[in-house]
Structure 1
Amino acid sequence: MAAAAAAADEGAPGRWRLLILLLVAYTFNFVDRQILGILALPIKASLNLSDTQLGVLGGIAFALLYSTLAVPFAWLADRTSRAWVITGALAVWSGFTALCGLAGSFWQLFWCRLGVGIGEAGGVAPSYAMISDAFPPRQRARALAIYSLGIPLGSALGVLFGGYVAAAVDWRTAFIAVGVAGLVFAPLFRLGVREPVRVRLVGGDAPRFGAVLRQLGGKSSFWLLSLGAGSCSMMGYGLAFWLPSLLRRSFGLDLIETSQFFGGLLLTGGVVGVLAGGVLGDRLGARDSAAFARVPAIAFLIGVPMFVAGIQSGDARLAFVLFILPQALAYIWLAPILTAVQHLVAAPARATASACFLLINNLIGVGLGAPFIGYVSDRLAPRFGEESLRITILFSLGFYLLAAALMWAGSTRLRRDWVD
Structure 2
Amino acid sequence: MADGAVRAGIEPAAPAAGVIDSTLYSPARRWLFLAILFLVGTSSSVDRVVISVLLEPIKQEFQVSDTMLGMLSGLSFALLYSVLGLPIARLADRGDRKLLITVAITVWSAMTALCAAAGTFWQLLIARIGVGVGEAGATPPAQSLIVDYFPLSQRARAIGIFATSGTAGYLLGLSLGSQLVTSFGWRMTLLAFGLPGLIVAAIVYFVLDEPRRRQAAAAKAPPAEDFMQSIRRLLAKKSFVRLLIGFTIYHFAAYGSLVFVPSYMTRVIGSPIADAGLYYGMTSALAVLVGSLAGGSLCDMLVRRDKRWIAWFPAAGYALAAVPSVLMFLIDDLTLFLFVSTLSGILLYASLPAAFSAVHAVCGSARRATAIALVLFFGNLLGFGLGPVLTGAMSDVFSASMGPTGLRYALLLVMALTVPTSLLMFSAAKSVPQDLEH
The interval holding the TM-score normalised by the smaller chain is: over 0.9
Residues 270-309 of structure 1 correspond to what in structure 2 (within 5 A)? 270-309=288-327
Match of 1:381 in 2: 399
Counterpart CA distance in 2 for 1:360 and 1:307 is: 22
Please give the TM-score of this superposition, normalised by the length of structure 2: 0.92
Counterpart CA distance in 2 for 1:51 and 1:65 is: 22
Q: Which amino acid aligns with 1:4?
A: P
Is contact 2:257-2:415 (8 Å) kept?
no
Match of 1:341 in 2: 359
Is contact 1:200-1:206 (8 Å) kept?
no
Match of 2:15 in 1: 4
Residues 357-396 of structure 1 correspond to what in structure 2 (within 5 A)? 357-396=375-414
Report sequence identity in percent: 35
CA deviations 1:12-66 (Å, max 9, x no partner) are 2311111100010110001001111011101111111100000111111111110
Residue ranges of structure 1 left out of the alignment (5+ in a row): none
CA deviations 1:97-126 (Å, max 9, x no partner) are 011111122211111111001000011101
Which is further off, 17-26 or 226-235? 226-235
Match of 1:241 in 2: 259
- The answer to whether 1:109 aligns with 2:124 is yes
Counterpart CA distance in 1 for 2:357 and 2:221 is: 26
Offset, 1:401: 0.7
Q: Which amino acid aligns with 1:18?
A: F
Match of 1:397 in 2: 415
Match of 1:98 in 2: 113
Q: Which amino acid aligns with 2:395?
A: S
Counterpart CA distance in 2 for 1:129 and 1:48 is: 42
Is contact 1:8-1:135 (8 Å) kept?
no
- The answer to whether 1:159 aligns with 2:174 is yes
Offset, 1:193: 0.7
Counterpart CA distance in 2 for 1:276 and 1:364 is: 29
CA deviations 1:231-261 (Å, max 9, x no partner) are 1111111222000000000111112111122
State the SS of the aligned residue for 1:269: helix
Counterpart CA distance in 2 for 1:338 and 1:263 is: 24
Is contact 2:71-2:389 (8 Å) kept?
yes
Q: Which amino acid aligns with 2:121?
A: F
Is contact 2:248-2:375 (8 Å) kept?
no
Is contact 2:45-2:166 (8 Å) kept?
yes
Match of 1:177 in 2: 192
Residues 63-78 of structure 1 correspond to what in structure 2 (within 5 A)? 63-78=78-93
Q: Which amino acid aligns with 1:57?
A: L
Q: Call closer, same or farther: CA 1:108–1:307 in 2, change over 3 Å.
A: same
Residue ranges of structure 2 left out of the alignment (5+ in a row): 1-11
Q: Call closer, same or farther: CA 1:235–1:11 in 2, change over 3 Å.
A: farther
Match of 2:33 in 1: 18
User: RMSD over aligned Cα, in angstroms?
Assistant: 1.8
Counterpart CA distance in 2 for 1:307 and 1:66 is: 27
Match of 2:371 in 1: 353
Counterpart CA distance in 1 for 2:176 and 2:115 is: 16
Match of 1:31 in 2: 46
- The answer to whether 1:192 aligns with 2:207 is yes
- Residue of 242, 263, 267 corresponding to 1:224: 242
